[in-house]
């Protein structure tokens, strides 16, 4: 079973814990907060407690991606 600390917030975790790592480009604070709330609501609808959702966002740029053979397709125009 995966264990996750409550980070000092007093959240009790269950065995339904979901941890998401999302990589994105250009989302503002309002968009991020709306996404957090929406994901929490949707997962709660299928029985996952709101305290069992941990989301971590990482920002990057188009130059941070290569989908194969050593090229940055967003920069080369392939994507």
CB 78 within 8 A of CB 71: yes
What pLDDT digit, counting tens, does each position of 11-70 carry?
888 888 898 999 998 899 999 999 999 999 999 999 999 999 999 999 999 999 998 989
Structure tokens belonging to residue 78:
């392939």
With a cut of 90, say whether residue 8 has pLDDT above it. Answer: no
Give the sign of the dihedral formed by CA 72, CA 56, CA 19, CA 2.
Answer: positive
> How far apart, in Å, do the first and last CA atoms of the chain sit?
39
For tokens 């029985």, the residue is: 47
How many angstroms separate the CA atoms of 32 and 24, rounded?
10
Residue 5 has pLDDT above 80, yes or no: no
Domain boundaries, the chain: 18-76
In this predicted structure, the answer to whether residue 2 has a pLDDT above a threshold of 80 is: no
Q: What is the pTM of this model?
A: 0.75
Q: CATH homologous superfamily for 18-76?
A: Macrophage Migration Inhibitory Factor (3.30.429.10)
Contact (Cβ atoms closer than 8 angstroms) between residue 18 and residue 48: yes
């Amino acid at each position: 079973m995966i264990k996750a600390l409550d980070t000092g917030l007093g959240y009790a975790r269950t065995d339904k814990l979901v941890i998401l790592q999302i990589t994105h480009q250009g989302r503002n604070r309002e968009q991020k907060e709306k996404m957090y709330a929406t994901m929490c609501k949707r997962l709660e609808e299928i029985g996952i407690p709101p305290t069992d959702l941990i989301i971590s966002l990482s920002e990057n740029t188009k130059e941070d991606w290569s989908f194969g053979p050593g090229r940055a397709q967003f920069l080369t125009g392939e994507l």
